[in-house]
Copies of this chain bind each other. A is one copy, B any other.
Amino acid sequence: MGEQVTGPPLGAPALLFDLDGTLIDSVYQHVLAWQEALTAVGIELSVWKLHRRIGMSGGLFVTALLRETGGVLSPGQIRELNLAHAEAYGRRRDTVRPLPGARELLAALTERGVKWAIATSGLALAARPALDMLGLPADTPLVTRDQVRHAKPDPDLFLAAAERIGVDIGSAIVVGDSIWDLLAARRARALGVGLLAGGYGRDELERAGAYRVYADPADLLAHLDEVGVRGVTDWATDPAGED
């Protein structure tokens, strides 16, 4: 040992982040925006059921909810519903903040040469303002729902994100707050890490396959070595990178 004294360790995994509930604190606003949009077209559903579907593809989300109500909507109506949700969320956007540690975590990864990208079931229209809020440049690797055929829990978003930054999905770590992120991670053969910041319980995330669960980005940053990213948390105390 002791040969490698600086720089990122060989084989360091890349991180693929979900956005809502993972980097920004927007889940509850999305939930009530969906309630507003659905109520406007006469669909009444308990709010906790909307919460548990957030993070899925918008199309799957509506289909899953209609299964509960027994209703049927045309593709045009589903599109309208998605637009109504985007409008209702837009009115709530000024209450959305970065989650604790989100900026610091991304900055620490960048500084140490660990590759990362963001992959969201949301549209580019909604994701772009979030980059500004996080203080990220416009060329941040970002894959949105508009760019893939199927959103979560299909693996497409994370596969596209890994390809975008030129890393092997098999050595990537998906970080997300919802079971849809973790199911998509397993289908993509990536390691999944859960965050409580979206309001799911720890057990729900572990059952969906989370290798490890943290409170929020700040908590993940403090424990990056547990998920296999060396040299970030060690850096201050152990700059030689020894075992």
Name the CB-closest residue of B to A32: B28
Q: Tell me if A204 counts as interface (CB < 8 A to partner B).
A: yes
Q: Tell me if A185 counts as interface (CB < 8 A to partner B).
A: no
Name the CB-closest residue of B to A21: B48
Q: Tell me if A100 counts as interface (CB < 8 A to partner B).
A: yes
Name the CB-closest residue of B to A36: B95
The complex places the Cα of A216 from the Cα of B68 at a distance, in Å, of 14
Contact between A35 and B202, CB atoms less than 8 A apart: no
Query: A residues 80-97 with Cβ under 8 Å of B?
Result: 95, 97
Number of copies: 2
- 1/0 contact string of A168-210 vs chain B (CB within 8 Å): 0000000000000000000000000000111111111000000
Interface SS of A by simple majority: helix
Q: Tell me if A47 counts as interface (CB < 8 A to partner B).
A: yes
Q: Tell me if A29 counts as interface (CB < 8 A to partner B).
A: yes
The answer, among B39, B46, B47, B203, for a CB contact under 8 Å with A204, is B203
Q: Tell me if A31 counts as interface (CB < 8 A to partner B).
A: yes
Q: Tell me if A230 counts as interface (CB < 8 A to partner B).
A: no
Q: Tell me if A99 counts as interface (CB < 8 A to partner B).
A: yes
Q: Tell me if A44 counts as interface (CB < 8 A to partner B).
A: yes
**Top 4 nearest A-B pairs by Cβ distance?**
A201-B201, A203-B203, A48-B199, A28-B47
